Structure 1
């Protein structure tokens, strides 16, 4: 199998093109171009395994956009996007740029994958956005490296509210990682008024056929660089300990402050992901 597609960008040095990557697969689901044959092959097989995966990815992306706009409307202008992936449809900084004054927004993307970091830096440079947005190449499982990075320290003022985005990423964190402790570590760094937005795959609220399909897909991800873990609403609720949940609470993607852009296919995919936004309360 060829590992470089006709439309794919040049691969940054050190990028593994022999094994599919969740970030690049997600880009393929959304119709992006920062993916290679190995990723597109996996995506094609995933669609056969779970036909709703592409509308689920798009519903998740729309949730991200609604959160960013809601945060801006609430006066939050700083964003920390953990596990941001490769640049694709609906980037945080593009949403901020279209919804806020040019001098307002601050965005820090965090991803450990070289291709995500390289192409994030490329697009921010092309768009002349590096004075207010940047990429930190670091593992989100190491909060110290995220917060001590020069880009984070330059762009974010942690004494003021930050919108922290853990969107469609914690299901790739598991194994030896204590996810509860990891989420608390991030919580402890942020000022009152900060938001945590989170989404995570699930199958407990779907029919038996769909539940089995997405369980098999999660099993298939064990053959990528990023194994996937299914979790429950109770897990999501526990992660929001220390936060005040914003309306409408823990819901499926299409039900979080919906707008008229949500398609019927995205609604059908809804039961396969939980999402919520919480606020750090005043002490």
Structure 2
């Protein structure tokens, strides 16, 4: 099957991520890119798995806080259970909007992201770099009520937005649109726990398409006056809600990904 706009000559983060999770929706360019990274960072699969489990625990946490609306930007190729499945398991009326910019993700999302009929699930062909377009999308407005709390999910997506693309302005636009009582959840690749040799080797390959940031740098991106961090602020995704995660927990040094959770207040 061909997909308009699909470029298989260059690796795509969503398809590479799918490969690491054991999926089949990827191409040789994606697999080769993934293998190059894995040669330099053997624990990348563990990092990807821990990031995925962080998403699962975060959605359950938010649903238990009464959140019934989710905006998941950079959703990637659907891997079950996804945000809407977890949220609607707790409350079938939960509403979820996904956004991604890969045509292959779009094709799969429309076929697979079907939720409970008592709730709603929508998919936007959109890019995080254009937050105003996401917020103004008619399908988003038809699915989510932006006068009521929303969970903004930014899972493993921000490291694809370089500093030159002004990620702080992108985040400010999204956060400013959220009503009081909303939440923001983010995860981000970090190389800060690696040895200097590992750092140099991984950075040479991984940062061709992305930009790693330390925990301090991630916290700075979310230094918004309306955000109140939950718990300790930025920490390894493997440590968030660790009591609900499979044991034993991996070492922080073995998981190259930080997480952040915050509540939106009046500021």
Superposed pair shares fold, TM > 0.5: yes
Instruction: Output the CA distance in 2 between the equivalents of 1:264 and 1:124.
Output: 30
Instruction: Output the CA distance in 1 between the equivalents of 2:59 and 2:24.
Output: 24
The aligned residue for residue 130 of structure 2 is: 142
Q: Structure 2 residue aligned with 1:182, among 170, 174, 182?
A: 170
> Is 2:18 the partner of 1:27?
yes
The aligned residue for residue 269 of structure 1 is: 254
Instruction: Classify the secondary structure of the residue corresponding to 1:176.
Output: helix
> How well do the aligned residues superpose, as a CA RMSD in angstroms?
2.0
8 Å CA contact 1:161–1:193 kept in 2: the answer is yes
1:35 offset after TM fit, Å? Answer: 1.2
The aligned residue for residue 169 of structure 1 is: 157
> Is 2:246 the partner of 1:257?
no
Structure 2 residues not aligned, in runs of 5+: none
Instruction: Output the CA distance in 1 between the equivalents of 2:34 and 2:248.
Output: 21
Q: Structure 1 residue aligned with 2:68, among 77, 83, 90?
A: 77
Instruction: Output the CA distance in 1 between the equivalents of 2:257 and 2:205.
Output: 14
1:176 offset after TM fit, Å? Answer: 3.5
The aligned residue for residue 211 of structure 2 is: 229
> Is 2:227 the partner of 1:239?
no
8 Å CA contact 2:68–2:91 kept in 1: the answer is no
1:253 offset after TM fit, Å? Answer: 1.1
1:41 offset after TM fit, Å? Answer: 2.1
8 Å CA contact 2:37–2:206 kept in 1: the answer is no
Instruction: Output the CA distance in 2 between the equivalents of 1:166 and 1:175.
Output: 16
Instruction: Output the CA distance in 2 between the equivalents of 1:128 and 1:23.
Output: 25
Number of residues of Structure 1 aligned to a counterpart in Structure 2: 264
Task: Please show how residues 35-54 of structure 1 align to structure 2 within 5 Å.
Answer: 35-54=26-45
1:180 offset after TM fit, Å? Answer: 0.9
The aligned residue for residue 95 of structure 2 is: 106
Instruction: Classify the secondary structure of the residue corresponding to 2:159.
Output: helix
The 1:206–1:129 alpha-carbon spacing in structure 2 relative to 1, beyond 3 Å, is: farther
8 Å CA contact 2:193–2:253 kept in 1: the answer is no
Instruction: Output the CA distance in 1 between the equivalents of 2:118 and 2:74.
Output: 19
